[in-house]
Protein backbone atom coordinates (compact mmCIF):
# COMPACT_ATOMS: atom_id res chain seq x y z
CA UNK A 1 0.00 0.00 0.00
CA UNK A 2 1.57 3.27 -1.06
CA UNK A 3 -0.49 5.74 1.07
CA UNK A 4 0.22 6.31 4.77
CA UNK A 5 -1.96 4.32 7.14
CA UNK A 6 -5.04 5.91 8.71
CA UNK A 7 -6.59 5.51 12.18
CA UNK A 8 -8.43 2.31 11.35
CA UNK A 9 -5.34 0.83 9.79
CA UNK A 10 -3.06 1.09 12.80
CA UNK A 11 -3.68 -2.42 13.95
CA UNK A 12 -6.32 -1.59 16.58
CA UNK A 13 -9.05 -3.48 14.74
CA UNK A 14 -8.93 -7.29 15.05
CA UNK A 15 -8.03 -7.88 11.40
CA UNK A 16 -6.35 -10.99 10.05
CA UNK A 17 -2.77 -12.19 9.97
CA UNK A 18 -0.72 -13.21 6.93
CA UNK A 19 -2.60 -15.25 4.29
CA UNK A 20 -2.58 -18.89 5.40
CA UNK A 21 -1.66 -21.58 2.88
CA UNK A 22 -1.09 -21.31 -0.88
CA UNK A 23 -1.51 -17.79 -2.27
CA UNK A 24 -4.68 -17.03 -4.29
CA UNK A 25 -4.44 -17.81 -7.99
CA UNK A 26 -6.76 -17.72 -10.97
CA UNK A 27 -9.03 -14.92 -12.19
CA UNK A 28 -9.46 -13.30 -8.77
CA UNK A 29 -5.75 -13.16 -7.94
CA UNK A 30 -5.51 -9.57 -9.20
CA UNK A 31 -7.83 -8.44 -6.38
CA UNK A 32 -5.20 -9.20 -3.81
CA UNK A 33 -2.50 -6.92 -2.45
CA UNK A 34 0.82 -8.81 -2.16
CA UNK A 35 1.85 -6.78 0.91
CA UNK A 36 -1.42 -7.49 2.75
CA UNK A 37 -1.15 -11.19 1.89
CA UNK A 38 2.33 -11.19 3.37
CA UNK A 39 1.79 -8.96 6.42
CA UNK A 40 -1.92 -9.42 7.26
CA UNK A 41 -4.84 -7.01 6.92
CA UNK A 42 -5.99 -4.86 9.85
CA UNK A 43 -7.99 -2.35 7.81
CA UNK A 44 -11.59 -1.47 8.64
CA UNK A 45 -13.07 -3.46 5.75
CA UNK A 46 -15.70 -6.20 5.69
CA UNK A 47 -14.35 -9.76 5.66
CA UNK A 48 -15.25 -10.20 1.97
CA UNK A 49 -12.61 -7.57 1.13
CA UNK A 50 -9.81 -8.85 3.33
CA UNK A 51 -6.45 -8.68 1.53
CA UNK A 52 -8.01 -6.88 -1.48
CA UNK A 53 -6.33 -3.81 -2.97
CA UNK A 54 -8.13 -0.53 -2.52
CA UNK A 55 -8.70 -0.27 -6.28
CA UNK A 56 -10.35 -3.71 -6.37
CA UNK A 57 -12.62 -2.80 -3.44
CA UNK A 58 -13.71 0.48 -5.06
CA UNK A 59 -14.35 -1.28 -8.38
CA UNK A 60 -16.46 -3.91 -6.66
CA UNK A 61 -18.57 -1.32 -4.79
CA UNK A 62 -18.88 0.67 -8.03
CA UNK A 63 -20.77 -2.27 -9.55
CA UNK A 64 -23.33 -2.08 -6.74
CA UNK A 65 -23.64 1.62 -5.88
CA UNK A 66 -27.14 2.89 -5.23
CA UNK A 67 -28.98 5.64 -7.13
CA UNK A 68 -28.70 7.77 -4.00
CA UNK A 69 -26.38 10.79 -3.94
CA UNK A 70 -25.67 12.87 -0.84
CA UNK A 71 -24.61 16.51 -0.68
CA UNK A 72 -23.45 18.44 2.34
CA UNK A 73 -22.96 22.17 2.43
CA UNK A 74 -19.52 23.20 3.67
CA UNK A 75 -19.51 26.98 3.58
CA UNK A 76 -18.21 27.18 7.14
CA UNK A 77 -16.18 24.18 8.19
CA UNK A 78 -18.56 21.43 9.11
CA UNK A 79 -17.08 18.79 11.40
CA UNK A 80 -19.86 16.33 10.48
CA UNK A 81 -18.72 15.60 6.96
CA UNK A 82 -16.48 12.72 7.98
CA UNK A 83 -19.37 10.93 9.67
CA UNK A 84 -21.57 11.55 6.63
CA UNK A 85 -18.93 10.04 4.34
CA UNK A 86 -18.52 6.98 6.57
CA UNK A 87 -22.27 6.31 6.61
CA UNK A 88 -22.54 6.93 2.87
CA UNK A 89 -19.80 4.34 2.36
CA UNK A 90 -21.69 1.83 4.53
CA UNK A 91 -24.79 2.26 2.37
CA UNK A 92 -22.90 2.19 -0.97
CA UNK A 93 -24.12 5.68 -1.80
CA UNK A 94 -23.24 6.63 -5.38
CA UNK A 95 -21.37 9.89 -4.62
CA UNK A 96 -20.96 12.30 -1.73
CA UNK A 97 -20.93 15.91 -2.96
CA UNK A 98 -19.18 18.56 -0.88
CA UNK A 99 -20.46 22.05 -1.63
CA UNK A 100 -18.44 25.15 -0.78
CA UNK A 101 -15.04 24.78 0.85
CA UNK A 102 -12.85 22.00 -0.44
CA UNK A 103 -11.25 21.29 2.92
CA UNK A 104 -13.05 19.15 5.46
CA UNK A 105 -11.99 17.22 8.53
CA UNK A 106 -11.41 13.63 7.41
CA UNK A 107 -10.98 12.21 10.89
CA UNK A 108 -14.62 11.15 11.31
CA UNK A 109 -14.51 9.35 7.97
CA UNK A 110 -12.17 6.73 9.52
CA UNK A 111 -10.50 6.17 6.14
CA UNK A 112 -13.79 5.26 4.44
CA UNK A 113 -13.31 8.23 2.08
CA UNK A 114 -10.75 6.10 0.23
CA UNK A 115 -13.54 3.83 -0.95
CA UNK A 116 -16.23 6.46 -1.52
CA UNK A 117 -16.80 8.52 -4.69
CA UNK A 118 -16.48 12.19 -3.69
CA UNK A 119 -17.11 15.27 -5.79
CA UNK A 120 -16.66 18.96 -5.02
CA UNK A 121 -18.82 21.86 -6.17
CA UNK A 122 -17.91 25.48 -5.45
CA UNK A 123 -21.51 26.63 -5.25
CA UNK A 124 -25.01 25.30 -4.69
CA UNK A 125 -25.88 26.40 -8.25
CA UNK A 126 -23.15 24.05 -9.55
CA UNK A 127 -24.56 21.20 -7.47
CA UNK A 128 -28.08 21.80 -8.78
CA UNK A 129 -26.82 21.91 -12.37
CA UNK A 130 -25.07 18.57 -11.81
CA UNK A 131 -28.29 17.04 -10.44
CA UNK A 132 -30.31 18.27 -13.41
CA UNK A 133 -27.77 16.86 -15.85
CA UNK A 134 -27.63 13.51 -14.03
CA UNK A 135 -31.43 13.21 -13.84
CA UNK A 136 -31.48 13.28 -10.02
CA UNK A 137 -34.41 14.64 -8.00
CA UNK A 138 -33.08 17.00 -5.35
CA UNK A 139 -34.43 16.48 -1.84
CA UNK A 140 -33.49 19.08 0.79
CA UNK A 141 -33.31 17.66 4.31
CA UNK A 142 -33.96 20.13 7.12
CA UNK A 143 -36.66 20.97 9.62
CA UNK A 144 -37.67 24.23 8.04
CA UNK A 145 -41.06 25.66 7.07
CA UNK A 146 -42.44 23.91 4.01
CA UNK A 147 -40.88 20.53 4.86
CA UNK A 148 -42.94 17.36 4.75
CA UNK A 149 -42.27 14.52 7.14
CA UNK A 150 -39.53 12.14 5.99
CA UNK A 151 -41.44 9.34 7.69
CA UNK A 152 -44.51 9.97 5.51
CA UNK A 153 -42.92 11.06 2.23
CA UNK A 154 -42.20 8.89 -0.79
CA UNK A 155 -38.51 9.38 -1.63
CA UNK A 156 -37.49 9.36 -5.31
CA UNK A 157 -35.22 6.53 -6.40
CA UNK A 158 -32.77 8.67 -8.41
CA UNK A 159 -32.19 11.06 -5.59
CA UNK A 160 -29.77 13.72 -4.40
CA UNK A 161 -30.29 14.52 -0.71
CA UNK A 162 -28.85 17.85 0.45
CA UNK A 163 -27.96 18.54 4.09
CA UNK A 164 -27.16 21.87 5.72
CA UNK A 165 -24.51 22.61 8.29
CA UNK A 166 -24.51 23.26 12.01
CA UNK A 167 -25.72 26.75 12.77
CA UNK A 168 -27.25 28.13 9.59
CA UNK A 169 -28.83 24.89 8.39
CA UNK A 170 -29.64 24.43 4.72
CA UNK A 171 -29.18 27.43 2.41
CA UNK A 172 -32.30 29.04 0.93
CA UNK A 173 -30.74 28.41 -2.49
CA UNK A 174 -30.57 24.65 -1.92
CA UNK A 175 -34.11 24.55 -0.61
CA UNK A 176 -35.37 26.61 -3.54
CA UNK A 177 -33.66 24.24 -6.00
CA UNK A 178 -35.07 21.11 -4.36
CA UNK A 179 -38.18 19.33 -5.60
CA UNK A 180 -39.15 18.72 -2.00
CA UNK A 181 -37.90 19.31 1.53
CA UNK A 182 -38.23 16.67 4.23
CA UNK A 183 -37.81 16.90 7.99
CA UNK A 184 -37.13 14.16 10.53
CA UNK A 185 -39.79 14.01 13.25
CA UNK A 186 -38.54 15.15 16.66
CA UNK A 187 -40.25 14.97 20.05
CA UNK A 188 -37.85 16.49 22.59
CA UNK A 189 -36.65 20.01 23.39
CA UNK A 190 -33.74 20.44 20.95
CA UNK A 191 -34.41 22.47 17.82
CA UNK A 192 -32.46 20.07 15.63
CA UNK A 193 -30.26 16.98 15.61
CA UNK A 194 -26.63 16.68 14.55
CA UNK A 195 -26.24 16.91 10.77
CA UNK A 196 -24.29 13.64 10.62
CA UNK A 197 -27.02 11.83 12.54
CA UNK A 198 -29.73 13.42 10.36
CA UNK A 199 -27.89 12.27 7.25
CA UNK A 200 -27.70 8.71 8.59
CA UNK A 201 -31.42 8.64 9.33
CA UNK A 202 -32.34 10.06 5.92
CA UNK A 203 -30.00 7.72 4.01
CA UNK A 204 -31.45 4.76 5.87
CA UNK A 205 -34.99 5.88 4.99
CA UNK A 206 -33.98 5.72 1.31
CA UNK A 207 -32.28 2.33 1.82
CA UNK A 208 -35.40 0.93 3.50
CA UNK A 209 -37.49 2.01 0.52
CA UNK A 210 -35.22 1.31 -2.47
CA UNK A 211 -32.30 -1.02 -1.66
CA UNK A 212 -32.30 -4.78 -2.15
CA UNK A 213 -31.80 -5.77 1.49
CA UNK A 214 -31.05 -9.36 0.49
CA UNK A 215 -27.84 -8.04 -1.14
CA UNK A 216 -26.53 -6.46 2.10
CA UNK A 217 -23.58 -8.00 3.94
C1 LIG B 1 -27.99 21.28 13.33
S2 LIG B 1 -28.99 21.50 11.93
C3 LIG B 1 -29.16 23.28 11.87
C4 LIG B 1 -30.40 23.94 11.35
C5 LIG B 1 -31.76 23.69 11.92
N6 LIG B 1 -32.76 23.92 10.89
C7 LIG B 1 -32.16 24.52 13.15
O8 LIG B 1 -33.22 25.13 13.13
O9 LIG B 1 -31.42 24.55 14.12
C10 LIG B 1 -27.85 21.07 10.66
C11 LIG B 1 -28.41 20.19 9.57
O12 LIG B 1 -28.79 18.93 10.11
C13 LIG B 1 -29.93 18.44 9.42
N14 LIG B 1 -31.02 18.29 10.41
C15 LIG B 1 -30.93 18.47 11.73
N16 LIG B 1 -32.09 18.19 12.33
C17 LIG B 1 -32.96 17.82 11.35
C18 LIG B 1 -34.33 17.38 11.33
N19 LIG B 1 -35.05 17.26 12.43
N20 LIG B 1 -34.88 17.09 10.14
C21 LIG B 1 -34.15 17.16 9.01
N22 LIG B 1 -32.85 17.56 8.96
C23 LIG B 1 -32.27 17.87 10.12
C24 LIG B 1 -30.26 19.44 8.33
O25 LIG B 1 -29.68 19.06 7.11
C26 LIG B 1 -29.63 20.73 8.88
O27 LIG B 1 -29.36 21.66 7.85
How many Å separate Cα 13 from the centre of its chain?
21
Percentage of residues of the chain with pLDDT beyond 70:
94
Domain(s) labelled CATH 3.40.1280.10 in the chain stretch across 65-211
pLDDT of res. 12: 53
* Bridge partners for 165 per DSSP: 169
Kindly state if the Cβ of 79 falls inside 6 Å of ligand 1: no
* pLDDT at residue number 106: 78
Contact 124, 173 (CB under 8 A): yes
212, pLDDT greater than 70: yes
To test the pocket of ligand 1, the residue of 181, 185, 195 to mutate (highest count of ligand atoms within 8 Å of its CB) is 195
- Residue 174: per-residue pLDDT: 97
Q: Distance, CA 110 to ligand 1 centroid (Å)? A: 23
Ligand 1: which atom is nearest the Cα of residue 185?
Answer: 19
Which CATH code fits 65-211? 3.40.1280.10
> Is it the case that residue 19 has pLDDT exceeding 80?
yes
pLDDT tier at 104, thresholds 50, 70, 90: confident
Which residues, listed in sequence order, are joined to residue 69 by a DSSP beta bridge? 95, 160
Contact between residue 2 and residue 22 where contact means Cβ atoms under 8 Å apart: no
- Going by alpha carbons, the residue nearest to atom 3 of ligand 1 is 169
Q: What residues have CB less than 8 Å from 12, skipping those under 6 apart? A: 42
Contact 193 CB / ligand 1 (< 6 Å)? yes
How many other C-beta atoms lie within 10 A of the C-beta of residue 195?
25
* pTM summary value: 0.91
Mean of the pLDDT values across residues 179-196?
96
The pLDDT value given to residue 11: 52
37 or 26, higher pLDDT:
37
Q: What percent of the chain has pLDDT over 90?
A: 77
Amino acid sequence: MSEPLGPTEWGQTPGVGPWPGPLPSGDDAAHYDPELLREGDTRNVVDAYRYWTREAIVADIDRRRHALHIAIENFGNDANIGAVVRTANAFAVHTVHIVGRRRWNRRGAMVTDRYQRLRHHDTTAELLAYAAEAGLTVVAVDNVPGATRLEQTELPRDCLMVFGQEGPGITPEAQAGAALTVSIAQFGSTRSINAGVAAGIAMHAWITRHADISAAW
